[in-house]
Amino acid sequence: MRVGSPGLDRSAVVWVGAALALVALMALPLGWLVALSVSGERGITLDHYRAVLSDVALRKAVWNTLVLAFWVGLGSIAIGAPLAWLTARTDVPARRTIRTLVLASFVTPPFLGAFAWVMLAGPNAGLLNKMWRGVTGADEALLNIFSMPGLIFVVTLYTFPYVYIMIANTLALIASDLEEAASILGASRLAVALTVTLPMVLPALVSGFILAVLQALALFGSPAILALPAGFHTITTQIWSFFHFPPKTEMAAAFSIPLLLATALLLLVQKRILGRRGYAAIGGKGGQRRAIALGRWRWPAFAGCLVVMACSIFLPYGILAKAALSRAWAQPLTWDNLTLANFSFTFFEYGATHDAIVNTLELGVATATIGAGLVALLAYITTRRLVRGHQLIGFLALAPVVIPGVVLAVALFIAYTRPPLVLYGTLAILFIAYLTKEMPVGYAQSDATFRGIPPELEDAGRILGAGRLRILRDVTAPLARSGIIAAWCFIFIGVIRELSASIILFTPATKVMSVVIFDLKEEGQFGAIAVLGLVMLVLTFATVAIVQAALGRDVLGVRE
Amino acid sequence: MPGVSIRGLTQRYGDLAAVENLSLEVAPGELVALLGPSGCGKTTTLRLVAGFLTPESGEIWVGDRCLSSPASVVPPERRRMAMIFQSYALWPHMTVAQNVAYGLRFKGGMNRADRARRITEMLRVVQLAGYDQRYPGELSGGQQQRVAVARALVVEPEILLLDEPLSNLDANLREEMRFEIRRLHEAFAITTLYVTHDQAEAMVISDRIAVLERGRVVQTGTADEVFGQPRTRFVAEFIGRTNLLDGVAVATDTVAIGRLQLRVAGGGLTPGTRVAVSIRPHAIALGEPTDRPTPGANVLQGTVRRASFLGDSVDYEIAVADSDIVLRVVTPVGVPRRRAGEVVGLAVDAAACVTLAEASA
């Protein structure tokens, strides 16, 4: 279908722009990544792959990653699915508050959680271990967070919301009638759950499992904080260590490709599963959802939710606040120990933190602003089918979702440390990394926004005499405003917490908050870490609040 | 005031022809309904006329201006048309007054006071005086509908396009708005294309009906013409209920259906050709099996299979003797009621037996 006047010139401009952006953001870096992974001194070689595959330590890292991802996936289902069911379908107390707290763990940067758990359950000074020793008089630590189970535990705490979202959104679409229809035919409660409810949420469950696995595969911060001291690597930390002097870029490239392929494959599987999810929604509209009475299980269920929230929110946030306000974080918070020195140190005395805050805010605002503008333009073009091949634009805008942050960073590092564009060492390379990484989230949000504005609203103005640009200003922009603000916020939140790409691309002059937090750990500056962490959390929650006000719903996207 | 001339319009979506070689003339000041089931191409036709789509072939003329051809399309904003959408397409962020005023921004030669006067006047015409500061979300469906009408009429368009404007209203309001739209058309006499799938709506509102089937106009005419003399099986079935009987012509004015012979309207049939006959249920009179035939009428016998009292009429299913034909017959309530199992006589005027082109065009 062609639209309006013959639009060759207009399509050309859009396509040239999109193509250029695409080359800069994806094709060039990924091309270099592949090229370097097979380049030897004499032409093409598979030596790097061979080296990677034959190295016992690297194979161990792969194995560790698989173990981590698998258990995080299972753990996320074990926590996320019951929590979603409890808050969506039962009369468990304080459902709204629990939802809000799940949202809080969703937006908490996982590496902050990992830090907090170091302070809580480190084998020597960890608060919980000290309490355990105090109570029992034992010498041994109760918990050792520097271990594979510890790592799985902490990663799961901040990954289960992905499963929660999938399940809660699906449950919200299943009308109670569907279950009651089975009850009236004689099915017991258990039979209803097994034959009706479970099959309908199964695609969401599997899909949530895959999302959780993907998160665990791509995660850098938590493994770096918890696995390295425990003496083991994951793929991401291994890739990072290739950049220690002397850098082995080719090895990093060769080690990145399998991770990239695994991610792409898993997402493909997930899309397949979700693509058939439609039936969960059939007849769901308008159907009523009645809360199931838990009876005597009501309070035990609530206690279970409370334990999860304690582990992911209350305890970590508490210890961060305590560390921020005390001279020695491991000591009790007495008047003597109380101080604001950590704040003045972080904001005014320690040069690196001050610069990092400024850099992070600059990058956050720049990426969010340019990114929101870009995704709004792309989504407008694709939803209104303004150019031929608009489907391709949509696909490409979502494509970066398959690139783990560390892999993206390796690719950008390779591409932009050499002519024609030497961007390494500037904020620009971080900007490109963030823009690429956050594009899919922003695009998905913008796409939903423009889909929500019926084209007739624009047509109605056209036929009354307004040109396309005029309509964009008078009708489309005002209606899309809140959705675009939300896209801005999503991108901004993503940028300020970004660690896995930043950790490879930063230079001393271009540190960002997450990187500085990571550095401070080496120096043992837990007070400053806590202060920076709180700043990050305050920024995040303020932005989330803006999203909620703009969209009139919470960012988990569950309709009430 | 110009008319609209649609000449050989074709528009495909992939392999599917939404509109195929469609031609239609709308006289100045005339209201023509495009009537057809969903997927017949009526909305695509309307969007082509509005300039939202570029035709693959064919032309659209308004007066002496060619507005659309495959080579060039005048954009919607320069067509001096107005359109009322199925969803009303009111802008939720603008008040009623702002919605109605929008089109006036693009008409020159009017100062602020003129505009305000026109808007007030138009809101009075659609019976929404005093609602100017409301937002669309604060109005009922019928009121939103009136705002959409006001927004379209206030710009005094040359051509008015309506796309199923009543289909989102409940039944009572829908009937009321039919007369309202007809009243407004008589007051403003704007050349109008009205898309609908509802035959009653088309019959009440329009001067002429164009029946669309699979992207083509299969018949145009007044409501009387398309109802009384349907040209194809499709038109006969789509507009009102009917009995369709398949047979073979045995004389220029007689069709054999099994062992029955029916005299039909007109004449000019070629003996030996296959012919379908349409008989409206209300055109069949019920009587005693012993009644003497009136001249010119076909007389049959049958057994009542089912009789349903519908309040203002009685609906019968009658098995015709000596055949496997089952006829639908509708009688007014005053006529003596028959019960299932009774044997009855049936009389049908030859003029009520309309022959149809065998295949739908």
- Tens digits of residue pLDDT in A25-46: 788 888 888 988 888 877 888 8
**Domain end marker among B236, B259, B274:** B236
Element (H, E) at B83: strand B81-84
Domain A8-42+342-560: what homologous superfamily? MetI-like (1.10.3720.10)
**Same-domain check for residues B56 and B174:** yes
In a domain, residue B38? The reply is: yes
Q: Give the residue from A373, A109, A60, A369 showing the smallest Cα distance to A219.
A: A109
**Same-domain check for residues B229 and B89:** yes
Q: Are the Cβ atoms of A464 and B54 closer than 8 angstroms?
A: no
Can you read off the two tokens belonging to residue A270? 């997930």
**Domain end marker among B187, B212, B236:** B236
| DSSP H stretches of helix in A23-94 | 28-37, 47-54, 56-89
pLDDT at A9: 52
- Residue intervals of chain A classified under CATH 1.10.3720.10 are 8-42+342-560, 55-339
In a domain, residue B10? The reply is: yes
A248, A416 contact by CB (below 8 A):
no
State the amino acid at position A239 in one-letter form: I
**Same-domain check for residues B285 and B157:** no
**Same-domain check for residues B163 and B36:** yes
Can you read off the two tokens belonging to residue A413? 């590092």
Residue of chain A whose Cα is closest to the Cα of B77: A465
Q: Which fold has domain A55-339?
A: MetI-like fold (1.10.3720)
Which residues of B fall below an 8 Å CB-CB distance to A?
13, 50-54, 72-73, 75-79, 81-83, 85-87, 89-93, 102-103, 105-107, 151-152, 155, 161
Residues in A closer than 8 angstroms to B75, CB to CB, are 4-5, 462, 467
Average pLDDT over residues B232-254: 90
pLDDT at A328: 79
**Same-domain check for residues B141 and B251:** no
**Same-domain check for residues B95 and B77:** yes
* Structure-model confidence comparison of residues B171 and A234, the more confident one: A234
In a domain, residue B361? The reply is: no
* Structure-model confidence comparison of residues A211 and A419, the more confident one: A211
Maximum separation of any 2 CA atoms in chain B, in Å: 79
ipTM of the complex: 0.79
**Same-domain check for residues B185 and B258:** no
- Tens digits of residue pLDDT in A477-536: 999 988 899 899 999 999 999 999 999 999 988 999 999 998 888 888 888 899 999 999
Kindly report the nearest CA distance between residue A438 and chain B, in angstroms: 30
Q: Are the Cβ atoms of B50 and A461 closer than 8 angstroms?
A: no
**Domain end marker among B236, B251, B275:** B236
Q: Which domain holds residue B256?
A: 241-356
**Same-domain check for residues B88 and B135:** yes
**Same-domain check for residues B263 and B297:** yes
- Tens digits of residue pLDDT in A339-357: 888 888 888 888 788 889 9
CATH of the domain at B115: 3.40.50.300
- Tens digits of residue pLDDT in A447-469: 988 988 989 999 999 999 998 88
**Same-domain check for residues B266 and B342:** yes
- Tens digits of residue pLDDT in B307-334: 999 888 999 999 998 888 999 999 998 8
Q: Are the Cβ atoms of A464 and B87 closer than 8 angstroms?
A: no
CA A528 to chain centre: 24
In a domain, residue B179? The reply is: yes
Contacts of A86 (CB under 8 A, 6+ apart): A92, A95, A98, A301, A305
Q: Are the Cβ atoms of B89 and A6 closer than 8 angstroms?
A: no
Kindly report the nearest CA distance between residue A423 and chain B, in angstroms: 44
Which residues of A fall below an 8 Å CB-CB distance to B?
1-6, 454, 456-457, 459-467, 474-475, 478-479
Mean pLDDT of chain B: 90
In a domain, residue B321? The reply is: yes
**Same-domain check for residues B255 and B226:** no
Using CB atoms, pick whichever of A5, A459, A464 lies closest to residue B73.
A5
Number of domains, chain B: 2
Residue of chain B whose Cα is closest to the Cα of A479: B93
Average pLDDT over residues B248-259: 89
Kindly report the nearest CA distance between residue A389 and chain B, in angstroms: 14
**Same-domain check for residues B280 and B214:** no
pLDDT at A419: 78
Can you read off the two tokens belonging to residue A318? 């508490």
Picking from A5-19, A259-273, A291-305, A541-555, which range would have the lowest pLDDT averaged per residue? A5-19
Q: Are the Cβ atoms of A475 and B91 closer than 8 angstroms?
A: yes
- Tens digits of residue pLDDT in A199-248: 888 888 988 899 999 999 999 999 999 999 999 999 999 999 998 878 88
CATH of the domain at B297: 2.40.50.100
- pLDDT of B342 > 60? The answer is yes
Can you read off the two tokens belonging to residue A97? 């508050």
- Spatial separation of the C-alpha atoms in residues A378 and A401, rounded to whole Å: 16
pLDDT interval class at A424 (50, 70, 90): confident
Residue of chain A whose Cα is closest to the Cα of B107: A465
A112, A537 contact by CB (below 8 A):
yes
In this complex, how many residue pairs, one in chain A and one in chain B, have their CB atoms less than 8 Å apart?
A: 80
